[in-house]
Amino acid sequence: MLPSLHNAEIAIGDFLFPWGMIISALGFLLAFFVVQLLERLGLTRGIWHLPLFFVALSVLFGCLLGLIFAP
């Protein structure tokens, strides 16, 4: 998926992206799809504050992906 990182930046074209930005974006997208799936299945009725749950999932998935793909 991601190449072996020797520095904390990924070159896409002539622009260097910090790897944390890409990992955070992937965590955000993964949390978005999980919340959408939970909404379709009707499992979010018991969640008190859905936006706070979404932020917590984004942070959780970002941290887990960061642990897996750490340079």
Identify the pLDDT of residue 60. 98
Please give the Cα distance from 20 to 26 (Å, whole number).
10
DSSP 10-23: EEETTEEEEHHHHH
Tell me the two tokens of residue 16: 């260097």
In the chain, where the domains are located: 18-68
Tens of pLDDT along 33-62?
Answer: 999 999 999 999 999 999 999 999 999 999
Provide the H-helix boundaries in the chain: 19-41, 50-68
Identify the pLDDT of residue 10. 79
Whole-number mean pLDDT of the chain?
90
pTM of the model: 0.81
Please give the average per-residue pLDDT across 9-21, as a whole number: 85
